[in-house]
């Protein structure tokens, strides 16, 4: 599980200047092996233990959130704190050595043209000469020579890396983000999202917000089917398709030669999973109207105990299969 450290809350974008402000609310940050270096360096910078720091990591896995948490932890000091994107700061009217504490994000954007790179290097040199504490953030998979070249006296800079999280860490991130927005997830659903959602932390948050629009409690076993239906556009990929799982589960129940296979698959995908008719039709290679008629036949025969029991068995098989995905 993620360790939670009281280390600040979400800030805003742009050039933010703070001086001697009180900030009573402190929001936690999830600390896992993939981001522990960055969190520790951010905390040490905020406590004044290191004057110059560099955080590097892939897009969408919490570098900016660490920066915002540092900003919030510093708001209670009497010093002027500025957090900005590198390009915004370079284009602002602020003097490079002016802010007592500077938190600079997205330095990679300032590396795209020779003019911006030169301006960035000069700005950082002026801050070092003025002994102004500075924390900078680059997007990348590792610290590169190009990054170090832009930092004057690069050996004076403490470096930390945010890595790509493991599958287990991604599951913890999903659960943590869900809790933050007031969403209850079953462990199976959190694990499935971590395993099959392509993207990063922002992708997870967007998917969770989509779930929250439908319901706040997704902890019942049967909720797994409905959640997959809601998230189907995000979950289908070249390596995994939830429709395959439904088809295999139903086939296990009735057999691949059963005359009921197509009708039951249509019913489960359309009514239990709540997939769209077009989404089901493209998989079963039938028209949307045919899919609708298949599902309606099953619905109309639900008064027959044998049909009801068969549908229940299919539902249980699908939930069991999805839980292990």
Residue pLDDT, tens place only, 131-173:
999 999 999 999 999 999 999 999 999 999 999 999 999 999 9
Q: Taking 50 as the threshold, does the pLDDT of residue 122 lie above it?
A: yes
What is this structure's pTM?
0.77
Reported as type and span, the H/E element at residue 52 is: strand 52-57
pLDDT (0 to 100) of residue 4: 33
pLDDT (0 to 100) of residue 207: 95
Query: What's the token pair of residue 305?
Result: 């105990």
pLDDT (0 to 100) of residue 10: 29
**At 26, phi and psi to the nearest 5?**
-125, 120
pLDDT (0 to 100) of residue 28: 60
Pick one of 3.30.300, 1.25.40, 1.10.3470, 1.10.1750 as the CATH number of 241-325: 1.10.1750
| CATH fold group of domain 167-235 | Helicase, Ruva Protein; domain 3 (1.10.8)
Q: Taking 50 as the threshold, does the pLDDT of residue 102 lie above it?
A: yes
Reported as type and span, the H/E element at residue 213 is: helix 201-214
Whether residue 268 contacts residue 246, with contact meaning beta carbons closer than 8 Å, is answered with yes
In this prediction, residues 212-221 reach a mean pLDDT of 95
pLDDT (0 to 100) of residue 66: 92
Distance in angstroms (rounded) separating the CA atoms of residues 265 and 283: 10
For the stretch 225-270, pLDDT in tens is 999 999 987 776 667 899 999 999 999 999 998 899 999 999 999 9
Secondary structure (3-state) at 183:
coil
Domain borders along the chain are: 3-161, 167-235, 241-325
pLDDT (0 to 100) of residue 292: 96
Whether residue 221 contacts residue 319, with contact meaning beta carbons closer than 8 Å, is answered with yes
**What band does 88 get if pLDDT is binned at 50, 70 and 90?**
very high
pLDDT (0 to 100) of residue 285: 95
pLDDT (0 to 100) of residue 8: 34
Residue 297 CB partners (closer than 8 Å, separation 6+): 263
Classify burial at 180, counting beta carbons within 10 Å of its beta carbon; exposed 0-12, middle 13-18, buried 19 or more.
middle
For the stretch 173-183, pLDDT in tens is 999 999 999 99
Q: Give the Cα-Cα-Cα angle 297, 301, 304 (nearest 5 degrees).
A: 160
- Tell me if the domain spanning 3-161 has CATH number 3.40.50.300: yes
Distance in angstroms (rounded) separating the CA atoms of residues 268 and 274: 8
Distance in angstroms (rounded) separating the CA atoms of residues 265 and 292: 11
For the stretch 42-78, pLDDT in tens is 999 999 999 999 999 999 998 998 998 899 888 777 8
In this prediction, residues 72-91 reach a mean pLDDT of 89
Distance in angstroms (rounded) separating the CA atoms of residues 108 and 256: 54
pLDDT (0 to 100) of residue 236: 63
Distance in angstroms (rounded) separating the CA atoms of residues 211 and 185: 10
For the stretch 12-52, pLDDT in tens is 334 444 343 333 344 467 788 999 999 999 999 999 999 99
């Amino acid at each position: 599980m993620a360790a939670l450290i009281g280390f600040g809350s979400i800030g805003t974008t742009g050039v933010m200047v703070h001086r001697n402000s009180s900030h009573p609310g402190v929001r936690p940050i999830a600390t896992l092996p993939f981001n522990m270096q960055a969190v520790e360096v951010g905390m040490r910078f905020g406590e004044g233990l290191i004057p110059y720091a560099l955080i590097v990591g892939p897009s969408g896995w919490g570098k900016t959130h660490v920066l915002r948490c540092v900003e919030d932890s510093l708001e209670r000091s009497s010093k002027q704190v500025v957090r900005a994107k590198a390009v915004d700061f370079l284009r602002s009217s602020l003097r490079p050595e002016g802010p007592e504490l500077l938190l600079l994000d997205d330095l990679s954007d300032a590396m795209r043209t020779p003019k911006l790179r030169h301006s960035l290097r000069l700005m950082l040199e002026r801050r070092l000469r003025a002994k102004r504490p500075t924390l900078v953030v680059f997007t990348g998979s590792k610290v590169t020579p190009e990054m170090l070249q832009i930092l004057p006296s690069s050996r004076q800079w403490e470096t930390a890396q945010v890595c790509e999280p493991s599958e287990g860490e991604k599951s913890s991130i999903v659960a943590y983000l869900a809790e933050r927005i007031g969403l209850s997830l079953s462990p199976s659903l959190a694990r499935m999202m971590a395993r099959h959602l392509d993207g990063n932390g922002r992708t997870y948050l967007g998917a969770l917000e989509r779930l929250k629009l439908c319901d706040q409690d997704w902890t019942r076993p049967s909720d797994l089917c409905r959640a997959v239906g809601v998230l189907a556009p995000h979950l289908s990929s070249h390596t995994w398709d939830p429709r395959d799982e439904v088809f295999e589960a139903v086939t296990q129940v009735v057999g691949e030669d059963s005359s009921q296979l197509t009708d039951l698959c249509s019913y489960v995908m359309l009514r239990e999973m709540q997939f769209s008719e077009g989404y089901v039709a493209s998989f079963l290679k039938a028209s949307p109207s045919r899919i609708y008629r298949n599902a309606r036949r099953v619905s109309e025969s639900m008064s027959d105990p044998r049909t009801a029991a068969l549908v229940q068995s299919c539902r249980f098989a699908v939930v069991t299969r999805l839980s292990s995905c």
